A and B are shown apart, each in its own frame.
Chain A
């Protein structure tokens, strides 16, 4: 947990909570938007959509756009006049993002990792770095809730650099938030790690099916490796909850709440509506989760 001093001598405690899931479509975004919206009534809260390939929080958070900026990364640009065609850059680059075609060096920015190696070591200084767009960061205010969306440009391959930039933006613009909720990508790959690795705590949303359980166990292993404490929320809870409950009890993972399987949730969700004001069962779940979050902070 990050603890720091404000300008006054009071000590503020900030919690960064990642909301993630092994499997996609388990209700991670539904929980993130409803929890954030509800939490913001009581606590200074920021919601960040880091599911940059398919960001959906904005469907539910309707507010005023306050700022929009293009997120960029630096990639080399070839300067034909300076280049002596020594070819060192091509042998150095481990990402195959530089190719020689006849008497031309072609840069493939999608493959570049922005390591600066070619640019800084080029004997002719023929590869100056220039900005390449990755996606957009949009800052939105919905009542008490601050919301930041990171949206990846279509055709960009790597999600992690945009996720890191969004988190830098959070550090720079929202350092004092009591709660930062991160809607993180599903899975266990590099983008999920990039989104969760700075979190103080992670909530894993799962569903009581063998797919849900299998993917949950992978996400649990990942977060344990990152040494991030976790809790589970069972969505679409029902007759098969035992599957998840047995696993969690064996692994000593607390289950913070269960959200029942209700068809009306699917209907309201499909319309992009926040649910907690209309579905008392969900509001009760949120109350349970918020009580746990308050205990943590």
Chain B
């Protein structure tokens, strides 16, 4: 079983559009996973039938039982996150600030503090309208542990692949370089970076490459909107060459990207004469890389 993770560093480069275009033409071959859990959008295009919908629990937070609290204030003294506040009769914890370290619960002289598990989101096991098995999730508002939720979506997608005897998992990763991306990339057979020729795009691409090398990942690149700035497009080609990262495809700037999304379609579905052959080609190149 192989895993291809589409990432971007910078937002808005067309990561999800590329992912969806590929998923549409290879609907019968792969499993789709949406690991961009705090702004998951693939379901808007694939409008899946949800078969499984489960809450996901991860991490703990401190809760003070006001009946047992003697208001001694030791919890507030040890908390490094200023999460403990004081009422007239008892202390209480602001859950948005609590990091769940459990220091307060450990030292509370009357054991008034418990550390219940937190629901951080929901995970879904679904079938896309194209028939493709799909794992996705929704992170609760302001929840921590997005990395853990990403890991859960990835393991669910593997289970779906086994169940449906499919060998390939296509993952829509998250932007940035922090914990959700690191979780998206762990165990990937290929990180496909979608970039655009802007100074910001190039800078973000370099940071993602650094991250990839740190984890010794196999990487490949797609330049989207390549005609927006030919000079920087050349710079991206040179940078990738120096790092021995192949550029699998360059795509032109096109309003089709937003038009297709507006109709809830993939590029390859919205305008097949323009895009189908290109994405078939891209897919062949991806398969060669893995």
Chain A residues within 8 Å of B, Cβ to Cβ: 22-26, 29, 53-54, 56, 59, 92, 94-95, 113-117, 120-121, 152, 154-159, 185-193, 197, 207, 209-211, 214-215, 218, 221-222, 225-226, 236, 240, 243, 263, 266-267, 269-272
A92, A114, A116, A221: which contacts B102 (Cβ < 8 A)?
A92
Interface residues in B, total, Cβ within 8 A: 62
Interface pair B229/A267, CB less than 8 Å apart = yes
User: What's the nearest-Cβ distance from chain B to residue A242, in Å?
Assistant: 11
Interface pair B175/A236, CB less than 8 Å apart = no
Main secondary structure of the interface of A (DSSP, over half): loop
Chain B residues within 8 Å of A, Cβ to Cβ: 8-13, 16, 38-39, 41, 44, 59-60, 78, 80-81, 96, 99-103, 106-107, 115, 139, 141-144, 146-147, 174-182, 196-201, 203-204, 207, 210-211, 214, 225, 228-229, 232, 253, 258, 261-262, 264
Interface pair A157/B38, CB less than 8 Å apart = no
A152 to B207, CA, bound (A): 10
Tell which of B59, B80, B147, B264 has the most Cβ of chain A within 10 Å. B80
* Inter-chain residue pair count (beta carbon < 8 A): 171
Interface pair B229/A270, CB less than 8 Å apart = yes
A189 to B143, CA, bound (A): 6
User: What's the nearest-Cβ distance from chain B to residue A181, in Å?
Assistant: 18
A193 to B203, CA, bound (A): 25
A215 to B41, CA, bound (A): 8
A92 to B264, CA, bound (A): 48
Q: Which residues of A contact B199 (CB under 8 A)?
A: 59, 270-272
A272 to B80, CA, bound (A): 40
Interface pair A211/B16, CB less than 8 Å apart = yes
Q: With A157-B179, A266-B228 given, is the CB distance from A115 to B103 under 8 Å?
A: yes
A215 to B197, CA, bound (A): 25
Interface pair B11/A210, CB less than 8 Å apart = no
